[in-house]
Structure 1
Amino acid sequence: MFDHLIESILPIIIGILEFMGIFIVTIGAFRAFYHYVKTLLFKDHYPVKHQFANSMATGLEFKLAAEILKTVLIQSLSELVILGSIFLLRVLMTIVIEWEMKEDNKQKQNPSA
């Protein structure tokens, strides 16, 4: 009975988490584009790259949470390999984005380096 409840509720939760991740990245992309154009036209200074990277990293965290929950529903080894590959790619993307954000902060604090 508990297994049936998990199998019926979990896909809904996974879908919601994935939608949240997509929503965060989409809104972040539109905001970054708006501020980028505003910076070009009005020479307004706004940390577009940092804000966009932050929204991408946050959106990826929600997508990773959905991937972790998907492991409960795995029924075969091939599904595990595919899910593991997707998980690794998303973790690598998150690490790269976080690294870029740290490097960007270092450059802003130490412009002569």
Structure 2
Amino acid sequence: MNLFYTVESIFSMIVQWGILFLEFAGVAVLLATCGKSVADCLKRNPHVRLKLAQGIALSLEFKLGSEVLRTVIVREWSELAVLGAVVGLRGALTFLIHWEIKNEESRAGKERKFHS
């Protein structure tokens, strides 16, 4: 039985490090994207909204990955309910941002055809 607890604690530690890594990656992507978007905005880049939306979507994917990992170590039903709500909200945000990206790409394509 002692081996079981050792393996469980090692597994839990690996999952927790994975969660931290994915959370950090999501925050790093978001901060880098926002910094670049501010610079692009100052340069009056017409595609700044598209690049910002793509960066936010990528950041949310990392954050969603960390939430999926978090489901592995959940012990209580109440934690699982909160986690489900967070995953649902992040999933909805990801869907809306991808929809915005699609619309922005369509608009940019129409602008290119108009100016050609």
Structure 2 length-normalised TM? 0.86
**Equivalent residue number for residue 71 of structure 1:** 71
Residue 4, structure 1, aligned to residue 23, structure 2: no
Which ranges in structure 2 are unaligned for 5 or more consecutive residues? 1-5
AA partner of residue 59 (structure 2):
G
Moved over 2 A (4+): 108-112
**Equivalent residue number for residue 22 of structure 1:** 27
Which ranges in structure 1 are unaligned for 5 or more consecutive residues? 40-44
Paired residues for 1:1-113 under 5 Å: 1-39=6-44, 45-111=45-111
AA partner of residue 70 (structure 1):
R
Deviation string, structure 1 residues 3-46 (Cα, Å, up to 9, x no partner): 1211122111100110000000110001001110111xxxxx44
Matches of 2:108 and 2:57, distance apart in 1: 20
AA partner of residue 36 (structure 2):
R
Corresponding residue SS for 1:75: coil
Matches of 1:104 and 1:9, distance apart in 2: 39
Structure 1 window deviating more from structure 2 (102-111 vs 14-23): it is 102-111
Structure 1 length-normalised TM? 0.89
RMSD over aligned Cα atoms: 1.3
